Amino acid sequence: MHRAFPIALFAAFVVLVAGSCGPDEAERAAAAEEARIAAHADSVMLAESMYSLAAFDTISWASPDSAISRGSTVWNYSCLKCHGREGAGDGGAVQRGDTIRPPSFLTDDWRFADDHEGLRRQVFTGTAEGMPHWGFYGLKLRDIDAVAHFIREDLRSR
Ligand code: HEC
């Protein structure tokens, strides 16, 4: 009993010090999230500097249908989980604790409705707010072109 007392006192001291020093769980998570966002913004800037319109010039398709068909496969693998099956922005995945969701692609005044080139550029570079930059993440330029055809000529015309 007499020997246990100093040990218990020491243990209580350690618990007290460990508990009061250093960032707590929530602060550490917030710092990690900030670092992740900053790193993502850096690579969006790099993707923007790498983007080249001319690189898309060599892409040709046997028929409009072959572009749409390839684009549909790309959509299902890489986009659907955030953007939703029909592109309404209702996929399951969300960004930053559900504060950032993808917009719907289906509205009449959608910004890329008549802008194939702008759409490919946006898919290539991503955004600083949670849209991956596909120019880095393993989508070939041909697949970016294909998915842009699919969104504009299939999803939006249903
Ligand atoms: C991890 C989730 C996620 C995936 C996967 C994803 N996106 Fe996004 N996307 C987003 C978010 C979130 C936004 C909104 C970003 C913002 O507000 O800056 C967005 C925005 C966009 C926009 C801009 C829309 C507009 O009206 O401004 C386009 C175009 C787009 N995504 C296309 C795609 C395509 C094509 C794919 C597949 C190759 C894809 N996205 C995959 C999350 C995702």
Looking at the structure of the chain, the number of domains it has is 1
**8 assigned to some structural domain:** no
**59 assigned to some structural domain:** yes
**3 assigned to some structural domain:** no
**Token representation of residue 154:** 């299939």
Which phi and psi (to 5°) does residue 140 adopt?
A: -70, 155
**50 assigned to some structural domain:** yes
Residue 129 alpha carbon, nearest atom of ligand 1: 18
Asked if residues 67 and 86 have their Cβ atoms less than 8 Å apart, the reply is no
- Domain containing 98 — which CATH number? 1.10.760.10
The amino acid present at 60, given as its one-letter code, is: S
The reply to whether ligand 1 has any atom less than 6 angstroms from the CB of 134 is yes
Write down the pLDDT at residue 68. Answer: 98
**89 assigned to some structural domain:** yes
Greatest CA separation found in the chain? 88
Asked if residues 53 and 145 have their Cβ atoms less than 8 Å apart, the reply is no
Comparing 37-41, 52-56, 131-135, 144-148, which segment has the lowest mean pLDDT?
Answer: 37-41
**Token representation of residue 123:** 């898919």
Whether the predicted pLDDT of 69 surpasses 60: yes
Q: Per-residue pLDDT tens for 79-138?
A: 999 999 999 999 877 776 677 889 999 999 999 999 999 999 999 999 887 788 888 777
Q: Per-residue pLDDT tens for 5-22?
A: 666 655 555 555 555 566
The reply to whether ligand 1 has any atom less than 6 angstroms from the CB of 104 is no
**5 assigned to some structural domain:** no
**79 assigned to some structural domain:** yes
Choice from 83, 109, 143 to test ligand 1 binding pocket (greatest atom count within 8 A of CB):
83
For residue 152, give its domain range: 28-157
Cα-atom radius of gyration of the chain, to the nearest Å? 24
